[in-house]
A and B are shown apart, each in its own frame.
Chain A
Amino acid sequence: DAKTTQPPSMDCAEGRAANLPCNHSTISGNEYVYWYRQIHSQGPQYIIHGLKNNETNEMASLIITEDRKSSTLILPHATLRDTAVYYCIVRVQHNNNDMRFGAGTRLTVKP
């Protein structure tokens, strides 16, 4: 799996967009970008994934740069309940083996 780099922590004001960056400069052509989040005392929750096109679902948007070396997870209107650790993971799609989580970014949404 390609290595990812995320800032350790970020703050965001409630109601504003939260933009969480992820660097994956060694990503290969068949690797997807996956995002999860972990709210305190809960298991991680899948958010979204993409290959090269931007993706949007009910939770978030994923913007992947044209060269695919970085991506940004966007929470359009952050709420206090979005306070969590956000993980960016890069993997080939059909990988049935170990799924590892790095340190992630701790997002704190402030009132």
Chain B
Amino acid sequence: SQTIHQWPATLVQPVGSPLSLECTVEGTSNPNLYWYRQAAGRGLQLLFYSVGIGQISSEVPQNLSASRPQDRQFILSSKKLLLSDSGFYLCAWSRQGAGANVLTFGAGSRLTVL
């Protein structure tokens, strides 16, 4: 069976510090991978998606970046965090092809920037 792991679960970072959130998927190959963010009381915002190694599409221009160094690994990074980066970050995966619209989400990473 397939599993998705996301960490850390929670973190508190000062403004201007770097960020690295990691997501890995097990039990499948060549998945589509997604990063979403949800600010407090707000909807889900798609940040990045990837259909393959090194292939990253960015949805919102911002100080965040994503990388996919391996087939089942997706990393969200920032060099300098802003207060507005606080939120609930969710990684998700889906199959390619007919299953592309059935997303499975990780447990999420709650980021507080102070």
B is bound to A: yes
Residue from the list A96, A100, A101, A103 in contact with B96, Cβ < 8 A? A96
Interface residue total, chain B, C-beta cutoff 8 A: 26
Is A21 an interface residue when CB atoms closer than 8 A count as contact? Answer: no
The DSSP consensus for interface residues of chain A is: loop
Q: Once the chains bind, are A46 and B102 in contact (CB under 8 Å)?
A: yes
Is A98 an interface residue when CB atoms closer than 8 A count as contact? Answer: yes
The stretch that binds B, out of A37-45, A53-61, A67-75, is A37-45
Complex-state Cα separation, A103 to B28, whole angstroms: 30
Contacts A42-B108, A43-B90: A95 and B101 contacting too (C-beta < 8 A)? Answer: yes
Give min CB distance, A18 to chain B, whole Å. Answer: 21
B residues with CB within 8 A of A: 32, 34, 36, 43-44, 46, 49, 51, 57, 59, 88, 90, 92, 94, 96-98, 100-108
Interchain Cβ contacts under 8 Å between A and B, 27 examples: A34-B102, A41-B88, A43-B90, A43-B92, A43-B108, A44-B90, A44-B92, A44-B105, A46-B104, A49-B102, A93-B98, A93-B100, A93-B101, A94-B98, A94-B100, A95-B100, A95-B101, A96-B97, A96-B100, A97-B51, A97-B57, A98-B49, A98-B57, A98-B59, A99-B49, A100-B46, A103-B43
